[in-house]
Structure 1
Amino acid sequence: MIIDKNINPERDLYYLGGLLIDVLSKKKSSEIDYLELYRLFNQKQNVTINLYSLTLDWLFISGIITKGENGKIKKCF
C-alpha cells in the first residue's frame, strides 16, 4: 500500500522508497544490478522480494529510477 493507516510505516511504499533512495544515493555508479540492490536494501530494511519489487515500481513511476543497460536499475538523480 502506498499510504496506510497502520502504525507500522516499515511496510508503506513512501517509507521504503525513501530508504531505497538512501541506498541508491550511497552508490557511486549510476547503475546497479537488481539482486545486488536487493541485498543492500535488505541490510537496511528486511523486506520480501515482492515488497522490494513494489517499491521499485513506485520509484519508477515517480521518475526516480529507470531501466538501464542489461536490465540494471539506473538512478535518475
Structure 2
Amino acid sequence: MLLPENIHPNNSLYLAGGFVLKALEPLGEVSLMELFIESRKLHHMPMPVFTLALDWLFLAGLISYNADGSIISCF
C-alpha cells in the first residue's frame, strides 16, 4: 500500500504521507483534526487513509506527539 502496483497512486500512503508532512511543515505543532483539515486542502483523502498515513509517518520517525496529543514534526 505504500508503493502500490495495482491501485491508483492517489490512494497510496506514500503520497498521502507527503501531503500530511507538507501540511504540517508550516504549522509545527497541531491537533489531529486541524492537521486533517489542512491536509485535505492539499489532497482529498478519506479519514482512514489519513490515519494510516499518520501511522506510517510515526513508525518512520517523521512525526511524533506531545503530552497534550498535538502532532509535531520530527525534522
Same fold (TM over 0.5): yes
3-state SS in 2 of match to 1:66: strand
**Unaligned stretches of 5+ residues in structure 1:** none
**Unaligned stretches of 5+ residues in structure 2:** none
Q: Where do 1:37-56 residues align within 5 Å?
A: 37-56=35-54
Match of 2:10 in 1: 10
Deviation at 1:69, TM superposition (A): 2.9
Deviation at 1:62, TM superposition (A): 0.5
* TM-score normalized by the length of structure 2: 0.89
Q: In the alignment, which of 56, 59, 65 is matched to residue 58 of structure 1? A: 56
1:31-67 CA-to-partner distances (Å, cap 9, x unmatched) read 1000000000111111111110000001000000011
On the 8 A contact 2:36/2:50 being kept in 1, the answer is yes
Deviation at 1:5, TM superposition (A): 0.8
Letter in 1 for 2:69: G
3-state SS in 2 of match to 1:4: coil
- What is the rounded CA distance, in whole Å, between the counterparts of 2:57 and 2:23 in structure 1? 13
3-state SS in 2 of match to 1:69: coil
Q: Could you list the structure 1 runs, at least 4 aligned residues long, displaced by more than 4 angstroms after superposition.
A: none
- What is the rounded CA distance, in whole Å, between the counterparts of 1:56 and 1:7 in structure 2? 20
Number of equivalences = 75
Q: In the alignment, which of 61, 66, 69 is matched to residue 67 of structure 2? A: 69
- What is the rounded CA distance, in whole Å, between the counterparts of 2:15 and 2:5 in structure 1? 13
